[in-house]
Structure 1
Amino acid sequence: MRQHSNCVGEMTIIVLSLLLALCYASPRQERRFPDDFLFGAATASYQIEGGWNADGKGENIWDRMTHTNPDVIKDKSNGDKAANSYNNYARDVEMMRELGLNAYRFSISWARILPNGLANQINEPGVEFYNNYINEMLKYNITPMVTLYHWDLPQKIQDLGGFLSPLFPEWFEDYARIVFQRFGDRVKHWITFNEPCEICFEGYGSSAKAPILNATDVGTYMCAKQLVIAHARAYHAYDKDYRSDQGGVCGITISVNWYGPLTDSEEDKFAAEILRQAKWGIYAEPIFSEQGGFPKEFVERVAKNSEEQGYPRSRMPEFSPEEIELVRGSADFFGVNHYTAVLISATEHKHWFPVSSLYADADVGMYTLPEWASSASDWLTFAPNSLLNSLSHLRNKYKDAVFYITENGWSQAGAGLEDDDRISYYRSALNNVLDSLEAGIKLKGYMAWSLLDNFEWMQGYTERFGLYEVDFESSEKTRTPRKSAFIYKEIIRSRTIDPEYEPPTRTMWIDEGH
């Protein structure tokens, strides 16, 4: 009996081993992106177009700053020529075809359409340029996704107060209406503003972006209110006067990096929430929340700090009941620009900031783990599952929201076609996209940043985000695909992520049928 029992036991082990072997040997089920999921790439007008004063274009705040104060740019460069997409737009569309993109997100230069920013003078050559660009995309079934404002404010508008002027929402609506009128018969995806925090905090509340106003105490919050009201006015203009004929959607793009607690303590969890409110909540809450207005906890913190600092009222302005109603619900989708993560502490890893400023109001510590890989950008590290964490948080907060990833990418220092770090980053992020889709998040598309190397703002041309390398020294601004371009092309073609895929060649190509 003992011997028979052993045989049965051994046979059971063999059968189980065979079953396990079959399980591991069988190919795992591939996760696929939906057929209607939009794969694209993104750029911004000042960063790629060049032609800074061509054919009637007006001066913008980056033209003024880089020409009068070039030392603020790391390599003292500017966007006067950039990648010269003003003359190379057909080549850019050819690159989109090479990649097999479904969509392309780009921005319109306000000053190229309205040279002085005001609606009394329309620059027809500027309109013609964007018409040609859009038509070239549509010829090859590439969906244009247009951003009305990506940081390049007309200098005349800045001279009149820029985002701090009470008339700014009116001026922006005038501009938006002209763009809707001229391009809305073909453009069905509109984004009003790109990254409000970077506009308001970095441009008005510090010196990290043009116009480097550095109004640290009130600039960020005054700008925030004016911006979301301007967004709402443009949205309602589209909804009331253009949507029925043009049939498009209009949203906003907000930078949502993941701010998670350093520990599981309630203090760190609250500190992370405060920074989320400070960095993106003051723009998202007025539009997407049920109650509207600025986020409650951060409003209370700024008011308390303002009183202690001797201000007669809070440095954060209030919304009137009418303004709350105007802004609340004024978006068809939430565009998410996501790159990285930072861990937040209530007590540790704090740095000095100007007393009356956004970071001082938040009063939290920030930390990145040393094992997270670093890019060429000091703010960008490879934090696992940061995109999934961000999207999950947003979905839980704004339950009916539709999302697009409108930027996501990785920087390298200088030229080079072999970019395995970028490939690892993209594969990880796109696996997070699949995770999000499987979790039921209403995510409709993904735009890689960037289609090609560009003028990277204060870093000039020292940091490169492009799927295509640009030879900025050549008169043609020659574009060459990096290894990541081939990887992204295969993901789009197959609608899957193969971690083992290696492109067979590194030569220029155009597939049949494109």
Structure 2
Amino acid sequence: MFKFILPVLLLIASCLDSAASQTRRFPDDFRWGVGSSSYQIEGGWNADGKGESIWDFLTHNYPEKIADKLNGDISADSYHQWKRDVQMVKELHAGTYRFSLSWTRIMPGGYKNNVSTAGIEYYSNLIDELLRYNITPMVTIYHWDMPQRLQELGGWTNPEIIPVFKDYARLVLEMFGDRVKTWTTINEPLHVCECGYGLDYMAPSYNYPGIPSYLCGHNVLKAHAEVVHMYRELFQSQQGGRIGITMDTSWMEPKDVTSTEDREASERALQFYLGWFAHPIFSKEGNYPKVMIERIRNLSKEQGFGDRSRLPEFTAEEIQRIRGTADFFGINSYTTKLVYSNGHNNTGKFPVPSFNHDMGAVETQKGVDWPSSGSSWLKVYPRGMYNLLMWIHREYNPPRILVTENGVSDRGGLEDYARVDYYNLYLSAVLDAIEDGVNVKGYMAWSLMDSYEWKVGFSEKFGLYHVDFNSPNRTRTPKVSALVMAQIYKTNTIDWSYRPKLNEEQLVALAQLSTENQQPKTSGASGAVSWSLTGLLLLALLR
């Protein structure tokens, strides 16, 4: 822990004098936005003929797998409250709204033989309303809500999904591409594949380590490439848009920076988590990272799989077809993990085979005094964002990088000064990377509003706007962080001294909020001061 504290001790005096008044400005062409996803906010799970997704199926049939045993059947009810959502984006001065399409709202059964007019109309109205206020829609085609009927065929582990996904993508490009100029094919394929198939973490919740996640990844990459080629051949020149993919990882910090083994474990972890999908698309040579190919092939042989690796092989033609299929590098990142080598005796106690055992690295957040959040996995270490952006720049030098998700959770409340500090710190880290030559062109805060947070249900809150889930209207109320982000987006500037107070209407909402059964009491002033001091301490790590 001492090595993380030392930079603070050396810089704390000057930091305390200057941080509160420090302002930092982003480039004039920097793109600001805010994000959401369909299952998390829309509700209307079977409205107007919408089909069943894997998340509908999981939450209805296995509620015990959700922390609060709740589901997204109504959630923030954006299926009916979408005009208010757009007003919130406008209030934030966000130039971009990143949202996803629900496959089963558009194609209830997953196939093109049944297209929902109501689903097309819903998204068309949302897009038109955004454009009415000069807000650019950034649309994700797939954000984790596979049609359940397709999942019964194997979902992403079945190669048949490739042409079916292409059919779905073609329809939405035809319907919305005249107005949507930024597309993301798939959000966080690592979570789609490893967390959905390898672990019992995300739907479809297979818990089958070491094999199906690699089949999933193989098909995801090929499906992504086919959609990008189709877009470029049929739509891009006349519609004038861009298309890419969004990947995710934490920064993997060596537990002991002086240890060669820990540094190698850090690099392996980055290659497995991010390189798994980034390397085939963004590297000069294409294909999976060499370390993945070699380790999984060798371990597969040791484990009795013969000469056939559990990691599928691309043909030479497939390598070339996938390489270069993105106009931007989308990255979601929230936190940092300490990493050390798993060792020959599987000290991490991972299943054999499994993704984590193949990676040969153990992740932890023990031993460092990083501020916590509303999520057990999310601790605050902004230097990790800078390190990650620099690593992406060195490894791939992509044409442009968009930070498509970054944010922090709490357990509720409107006076979220901890979130304010988090955004100031992480945005400072992004700006540091820009100033050091990384071509970061945009930032999308996660998330627009409190919503359904997958396996933890409604227990963790990421929103800039509070949603009253007990109200029939799902009333939205801006938090302090919404006021701060609106100021940043409007002025293009981080201003550490800007810490607004809530107005009378918001204070009334806060008083009501504190009496809600499912909402924890907001932290008092001491909590805000503690976080502010922590922010100043952490700021020293950035410079």
1:278 aligns with 2:272: yes
1:89-488 equivalence runs, <5 A: 89-263=82-256, 264-312=258-306, 313-346=308-341, 350-368=347-365, 369-413=367-411, 415-488=412-485
Alignment identity in percent? 47
- How far apart are 1:272 and its partner, in Å? 0.9
Return the match for 1:83 from 76, 86, 89: 76
Structure index of larger Rg? 1
- How far apart are 1:153 and its partner, in Å? 0.4
Aligned to 1:7: none
Give the Cα separation in 1 of the matches to 2:337 and 2:503.
Answer: 35
Q: Secondary structure at the match of 1:191?
A: strand
- How far apart are 1:347 and its partner, in Å? 5.3
Please say if residues 480 and 508 of structure 1, whose CA atoms lie closer than 8 Å, have aligned partners that are also in contact: no
Q: Which amino acid aligns with 1:476?
A: N
Give the Cα separation in 1 of the matches to 2:377 and 2:398.
Answer: 31
Q: Which amino acid aligns with 2:285?
A: Q
Give the Cα separation in 2 of the matches to 1:173 and 1:505.
Answer: 47
Give the Cα separation in 2 of the matches to 1:199 and 1:60.
Answer: 14
Q: Which amino acid aligns with 1:89?
A: W
Once the two structures are superposed, what CA deviation does each residue of 1:439-491 show, in whole Å capped at 9, x if it has no partner? 22111111000000000000000000000010101100010111111111111
Q: Secondary structure at the match of 1:374?
A: coil
Query: More displaced, 341-350 or 37-46?
Result: 341-350
Give the Cα separation in 1 of the matches to 2:342 and 2:351.
Answer: 18
Q: Which amino acid aligns with 1:177?
A: R
Q: Which amino acid aligns with 1:266?
A: T
- How far apart are 1:384 and its partner, in Å? 3.1
CA RMSD in angstroms comes to 1.7
Q: Which amino acid aligns with 1:309?
A: Q
Give the Cα separation in 2 of the matches to 1:28 and 1:87.
Answer: 42
Q: Secondary structure at the match of 1:31?
A: strand
Please say if residues 75 and 452 of structure 2, whose CA atoms lie closer than 8 Å, have aligned partners that are also in contact: yes
Where does structure 1 lack aligned partners over 5 or more consecutive residues?
1-23, 510-514
Please say if residues 481 and 508 of structure 1, whose CA atoms lie closer than 8 Å, have aligned partners that are also in contact: no
Q: Secondary structure at the match of 2:415?
A: coil
Aligned to 1:9: none
Where does structure 2 lack aligned partners over 5 or more consecutive residues?
1-16, 507-543
- How far apart are 1:427 and its partner, in Å? 0.4
- How far apart are 1:34 and its partner, in Å? 2.1
Give the Cα separation in 1 of the matches to 2:337 and 2:111.
Answer: 40
Q: Which amino acid aligns with 2:276?
A: I
- How far apart are 1:507 and its partner, in Å? 5.6
Give the Cα separation in 2 of the matches to 1:401 and 1:361.
Answer: 31
Q: Secondary structure at the match of 1:412?
A: coil
Go from structure 1 to structure 2 and tell me whether the alpha carbon gap of 1:508 and 1:129 turns closer, same or farther (over 3 Å shift): farther
TM-score (norm 1): 0.92
Q: Secondary structure at the match of 1:41?
A: strand
Go from structure 1 to structure 2 and tell me whether the alpha carbon gap of 1:386 and 1:48 turns closer, same or farther (over 3 Å shift): same
- How far apart are 1:29 and its partner, in Å? 8.4
Please say if residues 57 and 112 of structure 1, whose CA atoms lie closer than 8 Å, have aligned partners that are also in contact: yes
Give the Cα separation in 1 of the matches to 2:459 and 2:492.
Answer: 33
- How far apart are 1:121 and its partner, in Å? 1.6
Please say if residues 52 and 79 of structure 1, whose CA atoms lie closer than 8 Å, have aligned partners that are also in contact: yes
- How far apart are 1:363 and its partner, in Å? 2.1
Please say if residues 375 and 411 of structure 1, whose CA atoms lie closer than 8 Å, have aligned partners that are also in contact: yes
Please say if residues 382 and 429 of structure 2, whose CA atoms lie closer than 8 Å, have aligned partners that are also in contact: no
Go from structure 1 to structure 2 and tell me whether the alpha carbon gap of 1:53 and 1:195 turns closer, same or farther (over 3 Å shift): same
Give the Cα separation in 2 of the matches to 1:28 and 1:502.
Answer: 11
Please say if residues 268 and 359 of structure 2, whose CA atoms lie closer than 8 Å, have aligned partners that are also in contact: yes
Aligned to 2:56: 63
Once the two structures are superposed, what CA deviation does each residue of 1:110-134 show, in whole Å capped at 9, x if it has no partner? 1111111111221110000000100
Please say if residues 335 and 404 of structure 1, whose CA atoms lie closer than 8 Å, have aligned partners that are also in contact: yes
Q: Secondary structure at the match of 2:88?
A: helix
Please say if residues 21 and 497 of structure 2, whose CA atoms lie closer than 8 Å, have aligned partners that are also in contact: no
Q: Secondary structure at the match of 2:493?
A: coil
Please say if residues 281 and 294 of structure 1, whose CA atoms lie closer than 8 Å, have aligned partners that are also in contact: yes
- How far apart are 1:365 and its partner, in Å? 2.3
Please say if residues 275 and 288 of structure 2, whose CA atoms lie closer than 8 Å, have aligned partners that are also in contact: yes
TM-score (norm 2): 0.87
Give the Cα separation in 1 of the matches to 2:28 and 2:133.
Answer: 17
Q: Which amino acid aligns with 1:337?
A: N
Give the Cα separation in 2 of the matches to 1:372 and 1:29.
Answer: 23
Please say if residues 483 and 506 of structure 1, whose CA atoms lie closer than 8 Å, have aligned partners that are also in contact: no
Once the two structures are superposed, what CA deviation does each residue of 1:297-323 show, in whole Å capped at 9, x if it has no partner? 121111111111111221111001111
- How far apart are 1:505 and its partner, in Å? 3.6
Give the Cα separation in 1 of the matches to 2:65 and 2:334.
Answer: 24
Give the Cα separation in 2 of the matches to 1:69 and 1:274.
Answer: 35
Please say if residues 449 and 462 of structure 2, whose CA atoms lie closer than 8 Å, have aligned partners that are also in contact: yes
Q: Which amino acid aligns with 1:102?
A: G
